Amino acid sequence: MLEEMKYPINEIFRSLQCEGFYAGRSAVFIRFSGCNKKCSFCDTDHTPKLNLTPSEIVEHMTVAGWKEEDLIVLTGGEPTIHDLKPVCEALINVNGGVEIAIETNGTNPRTLQRLKTAHLLDWITISPKHIKDASAIWRNVADEIKVVLDPHNPPARYIPFIDNLFDANCCFIQPCSQDYAPAVKYVLEHPQWRLSVQTQKIINVL
């Protein structure tokens, strides 16, 4: 039997999804360590605190209180810098009815396309940080786009890559900080976008 691949994990926890389309839904978060970007506003802890096989990831989710109805969210860091196929397969093998979502910067669009084509991901949220990373493939793989409002990252520049998502109401503007006014102003001026607020910082949950 081949030895299972191990993954650097920062944390696995159960909470509410507090951003974007699924805000308010119970979820289990698997936070992978490591990222291929160095964003100045990032407040995520990238420290690898665990080194787990896919089956051990499932065990830690169970300890965290995972329930069948929870959305499973692969996040980071940037999860697509790791081979996610074994992890997704392990989750599906435990419970074929799971819903697996990913939060990604979209810099590895072909990886996302392969995972979606193989029915290993149910929901792909792209939160782009640099326009140079935008890809035409996003139109086929993204279910949601969430742009952090930053003067150096104008949301309008992504429209050619995600305009199909506007009809689905899946295009979100998120404040870069808890100064919400610029994001509110932007959405009022560009009503095809919706506002996403990090409610975890308001209701004090993980």
Could you read off the pLDDT of 136-187 as tens digits, one per residue?
Answer: 999 999 999 999 998 888 999 999 999 999 999 999 999 987 889 999 999 9
Please indicate, yes or no, if residue 32 is contained in any of the structural domains: yes
Once rounded to an integer, what is the mean pLDDT over residues 46-62?
92
Mean pLDDT of the chain: 92
Please indicate, yes or no, if residue 1 is contained in any of the structural domains: no
Please indicate, yes or no, if residue 2 is contained in any of the structural domains: no
Question: Domain limits at 176?
Answer: 7-203
Cα distance between residue 182 and residue 37, in whole Å: 24
Please indicate, yes or no, if residue 184 is contained in any of the structural domains: yes
Residue 3 has pLDDT above 70, yes or no: no
Could you read off the pLDDT of 6-21 as tens digits, one per residue?
Answer: 999 999 999 999 999 9
Please indicate, yes or no, if residue 199 is contained in any of the structural domains: yes
The domain that contains 62 carries what CATH number? 3.20.20.70
Please indicate, yes or no, if residue 96 is contained in any of the structural domains: yes
Q: Are 133 and 162 in contact (CB under 8 A)?
A: no
Number of domains in the chain: 1
Task: Name the residue among 131, 80, 130, 82 with its Cα closest to residue 109.
Answer: 80
Please indicate, yes or no, if residue 75 is contained in any of the structural domains: yes
Q: Are 75 and 34 in contact (CB under 8 A)?
A: no
Cα distance between residue 83 and residue 5, in whole Å: 9
- Give Dmax (Cα) for the chain: 58
Q: Are 146 and 105 in contact (CB under 8 A)?
A: no
Cα distance between residue 107 and residue 126, in whole Å: 9
- With 0.85 as the threshold, say if the pTM is over it: yes
Ramachandran angles phi, psi of 148, nearest 5°: -75, 120
